[in-house]
């Protein structure tokens, strides 16, 4: 085994993104750019179906892992509100919710 050391100031790694909706692309969603068009509540154009992460697209979308971590809870909250209209608008926020503070 050969090891080579290279001095550098930074190293950038891109895992790459390939969105493949498969048969979901035939479900009647509005599609654009790299995926399923959603609004700010992660609603698709098909009522009752929400999308987030790599499969979702919207104006000014930044395709980074952190986006999916942000969009996931929004999609979940929106789906909960769709299924239970009287539910709270937002779920608990773990770092600020009173039940998590000592």
Contacts of 81 (CB under 8 A, 6+ apart): 87, 89
Residue range(s) defining the domain that contains residue 32: 22-83
Q: Which two tokens mark 68?
A: 């999916």
Segment 25-37 shows an average pLDDT of: 90
Cβ atoms of residues 87 and 80 within 8 Å: yes
CATH code at position 55 = 3.50.50.60
Is residue 92 assigned to a domain?
A: no
Q: Is the dihedral of CA 79, 84, 90, 96 positive or negative?
A: negative
17 contacts 54 by C-beta, under 8 angstroms: yes
How far apart (Å, rounded) are the C-alpha atoms in residues 36 and 58?
A: 8
Q: pLDDT tens for residues 39-93?
A: 999 999 999 899 998 889 999 998 887 887 889 889 888 988 988 899 877 765 6
Domain total for the chain? 1
């Amino acid at each position: 085994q050969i090891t080579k050391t290279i001095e550098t100031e930074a190293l950038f790694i891109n895992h790459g993104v390939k969105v493949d909706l498969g048969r979901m692309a035939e479900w009647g969603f509005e599609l654009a750019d790299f995926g399923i068009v959603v609004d700010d509540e992660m609603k698709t154009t098909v009522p009752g179906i929400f999308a987030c992460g790599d499969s979702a697209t919207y104006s000014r979308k930044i395709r980074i892992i952190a986006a999916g971590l942000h969009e996931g809870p929004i999609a979940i909250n929106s789906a909960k509100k769709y299924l239970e209209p009287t539910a709270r608008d937002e779920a608990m926020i773990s770092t600020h919710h009173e039940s998590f503070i000592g």
